[in-house]
Amino acid sequence: MLLVSLIIIQGCNTQHEGVILSYESKSDSIISLMTLEEKIGQMSLFTSDMSATGPSIRNDYTDLIRQGKVGAVFNAYTVDFVRGIQKIAVEESRLHIPLIFGYDIIHGHRTIFPVNLGQAASWDLEAIEKSERIAATEASAEGLNWTFAPMVDISRDPRWGRVMEGSGEDTWLGSLIAAARVKGFQGASLADNNTILACVKHFAAYGAPQAGRDYSTVDMSDRSLYEWYLPPYKAAVDAGAGSVMTSFNEIAGVPSTSNHWLLTDLLRGEWGFNGFVVTDYSSINELVPHGVASDLKQAGELSVNAGVDMDMQGSVFLEYLNELVKSGEVTEKVINDAVRRILIAKYKLGLFDDPYKYCDKKREAEEIMTPEFLEFARGFVAKSCVLLKNEKNTLPIPSGVKSIAVIGPLADSKADMLGFWSAAGQWEKCVTLFEGIRNRAGSSVNILTAKGCNVNDDDLSAINQALSVARKADFVVLALGESKDMSGEAASRADISIPGVQMILAEKIIKTGKPVAVVLFNGRPLSISELDKMAPAILETWFGGTQAGNGIADILFGDVNPSGKLTMTFPMNVGQIPLFYNSKNTGRPINPQNPYEKWKSNYLDSPNTPLYPFGYGLSYTTFAYSDIRMNKNSFLENEKVVASVDITNSGDRDGEEVVQLYIHDLVGDVTRPVKELKGFKKVLVKKGETVTVTFSISSDDLSYYHHNMNFTYDPGEFALYIGSNSAEERFVKFIVQ
């Protein structure tokens, strides 16, 4: 009883700084009451039996909570369910310490937004932040207070299924998005009841697995790691992310979960991270198959001494830390430090004030899938769509059409609209493409539909019926792509073309001569050179989530002018992978006039160029760019480089354009990429009007890790590009002294 009151007293007024003690000393006084077993319990995270996101679950988690052997639970949500579990912790465990409740809230909680790669294509940081604000509001109304997001892994390999969760291939843009997501989740203060703790993942470089195979080996130079892969994690940490998740992979022979340099020297030391580090799902156990630990006990020792604070689902801490402390292989200080970090997070979340703070039935009834959230989701779908091709203005669908055939295996597939990691999203509440088109077209237009084939098998039997439906319509919308489980975790593909017999369906439908717009659903860049050759129009829509069909219809009918731009290169073929815009020139650069010239860095059987480059996306209008103007041509250190360009809307409707700035350091201390994104602005240009876009870049934007790993810039000549995608060649040169 004494212990209970002590904790309750400590919990009073935690939000008023200076009132009693700091979170740190409060945590320390709790630690002083704890047995070693209870401390280790705080360092253990288990999934509930509500759902599973990994290979095995421990069904005895409620008993463990009762015994004080669990610090946090994941995969548990809805107020009653969470309250029931929290009650065990705060009423039946000896020290009554509340649990944190975590979940993979990756692109929405109940209202599901486009998959993250699609969101990134909006280049709209405000919308991205707002989507996380909504996700946090919904999740916290259902008992949750911790998300395993943002996932900020840079990836250059579309075979890797998890590219759908990230922001694409660019580090600079990925860092801005990482920070926006953290701000969205954590809001102004974690003390608010509608904010949740963010968890940056997967630390580090999980997005660079060899051959694009999930969980595979990562090996790269320090320079690549620092320059391309680490900055988004750092940006998320700088934005205040309260936790970090280790990655499954090794880097240069050291698995992240046992990497002291990564978790302690870099993350806590250099970056000043003061939150807690959780492993990925049983990744301590995986140190054994990785081959750096001979058994689970050694795995536990390596990981905790490297800087891991919490073991996700592996039970290794629970089983072995006690023994390891007793034998002196792990000090109690290491344990206390970890527990303190976890308790501080609980204080920040206000759980000691009120362990049921996130269990509010009224909020659960009122703050989920509100009309406002759904309206935003619909707009976000439209923002994330990328118009890849639009020959002869096939789109928007002409206003006079009397009948539209919506054909394809994804035309009316509710189950696929959410995409992978759809958290608590309900597929039955999704709007399909067919439904979205029907909603928008109204009763005067006849909307027909046919599946034609399945996503991924060789059954041709339904194609003829789809053809006859197509022949009856004035306009055909052809929905092709991947099913939702073909991307995401453990969903790498060696062949990233459109699967099954869908291309046979596409060819036959297009040959009918009807106007055809292909609508693509997929979680990664696909290899679609053949489709690009034959389809008059292609709209990339990713997996749009709850409002997918409505948002896509807004684009198809021209109510919203597409403005999305790719944040990951679409290759011409799989053999070009990894293919990304910020590559090096090499000593034998390809000759653009003769791409197959011998003795150059090229292929015998494929150009080096992508099908659609990074930054690419069309609009229903056209934008004309003026030449680039600069404030001057030669700069001293610390002088701002200011560049501007006029964008004229030369088409016949208003439109938004993502204006992009790239630089190229022509002669570096080490070789430099041919282009690096260093600025963008998304501007609305009304038809017939001209808008001036001005960028200002600093010496920091020109700096990079030199061969001695100093972060600095090279005096000398730079090229500065401004354009509508990374392949455009409009540039000026300037000198930095």
- What letter would DSSP give residue 493? -
Q: At 463, list the tokens.
A: 């194609």
**Structure tokens, 709:** 């790993």
Residue of 104, 142, 309, 540 that binds ligand NOJ (CB under 6 A): 104
**Applying CB under 6 A, does 281 fall inside the site for ligand NOJ?**
yes
Nearest-approach distance from CB 146 to ligand NOJ, in angstroms: 11
> 172 or 281, CB closer to ligand NOJ?
281
Element (H, E) at 47: strand 44-47
Does position 54 interact with ligand NOJ (CB under 6 A)? The reply is yes
Minimum separation from the CB atom of position 207 to ligand NOJ (A): 12
In which residue are the tokens 């209870």 written? 38
Nearer to ligand NOJ, 14 or 285 (CB): 285
Q: Could you say which DSSP state residue 624 is in? A: E
Closest distance to ligand NOJ from the beta carbon of 53 (Å): 3
| CA atoms within a 13 Å half-sphere pointing along the CA-CB vector of 64 | 24
Task: Give the residue closest to ligand NOJ by C-beta.
Answer: 53
Phi (first) and psi of residue 716, to 5 degrees: 135, -160
> Closer to ligand NOJ at the Cβ: 183 or 201?
201
To the nearest whole angstrom, how small is the minimum distance from the Cβ of residue 376 to ligand NOJ?
A: 25
Q: What's the helix, strand, coil split of the chain in %, to 5?
A: 35, 20, 45
Integer Cα distance of 467 and 506 in angstroms: 10
**Does position 185 bind ligand NOJ by CB under 6 A?**
no
Beta strands 146-147 and 100-103, pairing class: parallel
Cβ 262 to ligand NOJ shortest distance, Å: 17
Q: Element (H or E) spanning 231, and its range? A: helix 231-238
Nearer to ligand NOJ, 148 or 276 (CB): 148
**Count of positions on this chain that bind ligand NOJ (CB under 6 A):** 8
Provide the token pair at 687.
């038809």
Strands (E), 318-433: 386-390, 403-407
Position 148 contacts ligand NOJ (CB under 6 A): yes
487/548 Cα distance (integer angstroms): 17
What residues between 333 and 372 interact with ligand NOJ by CB under 6 A? none
Which residue in 201, 340, 438, 672 binds ligand NOJ (CB under 6 A)?
Answer: 201
Known catalytic residue: 337? Answer: no
Structure tokens at 119: 């969101």
Taking the complex as a whole, the smallest distance from the CB of residue 312 to ligand NOJ amounts, in Å, to 7
Cα-Cα-Cα-Cα dihedral sign, residues 634, 638, 642, 643: positive
User: Does 286 engage in binding with ligand NOJ (CB under 6 A)?
Assistant: no
When the beta carbons of 245 and 477 are compared against ligand NOJ, the nearer one is 245
Site for ligand NOJ in 488-517 (CB under 6 A): 489
User: Within the chain, how many helices (H) and strands (E) appear?
Assistant: 23, 27
Minimum CB separation from ligand NOJ for residue 574, in Å?
24
Binding mask 385-424 for ligand NOJ (x = CB under 6 A): ----------------------------------------
Identify the active-site residue in 157, 170, 280, 665: 280
Give the residue carrying structure tokens 């282009």: 675
> Binding residue for ligand NOJ (CB under 6 A) from 53, 193, 322, 446?
53
Nearest to 142 by CA among 423, 422, 358: 358
Catalytic residue numbers read 280
Contact residues: ligand NOJ, CB under 6 A: 53-54, 104, 148, 201, 280-281, 489
